[in-house]
Amino acid sequence: MSEFAEVLEALRRVRGINPFFALDVGRPDDSWLPGTALLEGPALKTTIDAIANRYKAEEPRVAASLFFLSYTARLLSPLTAANIPIDVRPENLWWQHHPANGLSVRIDQPRLGPQAAEALEPVVEAIQRVTPVARGLLWGNAMSNIAGALKMVVRARMLTAEEAEERGERLMSAPPFEQAGEFITFPGEVTFRRRSCCLYYRVAAGGKCGDCPLVK
């Protein structure tokens, strides 16, 4: 099987789990921006400001966290389920942010690339250039989405809970995820508790997530 076909087949196999696992391929219309617009120019800050306005977040770091939480959910959910290194570097992405519908992301070419952490690192650095937010919080958001994806993969019966937890533990054995959290053994289910907080509780009408370290 060619690389092109391998990636398309992997994405087709997982897209039905739920909408976060549906990662589309190909160049969209002109309302979308290239992924490289996240790394330079005003688009990233403009989007973070729009998120702050939508959620009435008074602290810029809260909106930055929500942006990265959404961005990584849309990329790491299908990648985690597919379990192959699909190329999600900014140069192979298209994205747009709609005031009502939020963030959408798609890949340009169905090809293999570096591991997810390497692909996401330039976006983490770009966010930190425009907003003072901790790296550990951002990578905690990414790991939270991986754990959430593993939970859904288990519920779709594509992995056992033990297999999913083992995959998650392997990821957390190396940077940048090694301090992100811990998996808690629970029969038949993937349960994760992160060490950082995504700050969603600091927006108007926000609350604490199921894996939040502040939940007692």
Tokens read off for 165:
């937890």
Q: pLDDT of 159-208, one tens digit each?
A: 999 999 999 999 999 899 998 999 998 888 999 999 999 999 998 888 89
Calculate what percentage of the chain has a pLDDT beyond 70: 100
Q: Would the pLDDT of 1 be above 80?
A: no
Q: Could you tell me the pTM of the whole model?
A: 0.95
pLDDT above 90 covers what percent of the chain? 89
User: Could you tell me if residue 111 is left (phi over 0), alpha (psi between -120 and 50 degrees) or otherwise beta?
Assistant: beta
What pLDDT does 125 receive? 98
Identity of the residue numbered 130:
V
Q: What is the mean pLDDT of the chain?
A: 94
Q: Output the pLDDT for position 191.
A: 93
d(CA 90, CA 215): 34
Q: What's at 120, amino acid-wise?
A: L
Whether omega for the bond prior to residue 42 falls within 30 degrees of 0, making it cis, is no
Helix (H) / strand (E) containing 33:
strand 33-34
- Over residues 35-55, the pLDDT tens digits come to 999 999 999 999 999 999 999
Read off the pLDDT of residues 67-83 as tens digits, 9 standing for 90 and up.
999 999 999 999 999 99
Q: What pLDDT sits at residue 101? A: 87
Longest dimension (CA), the chain: 50
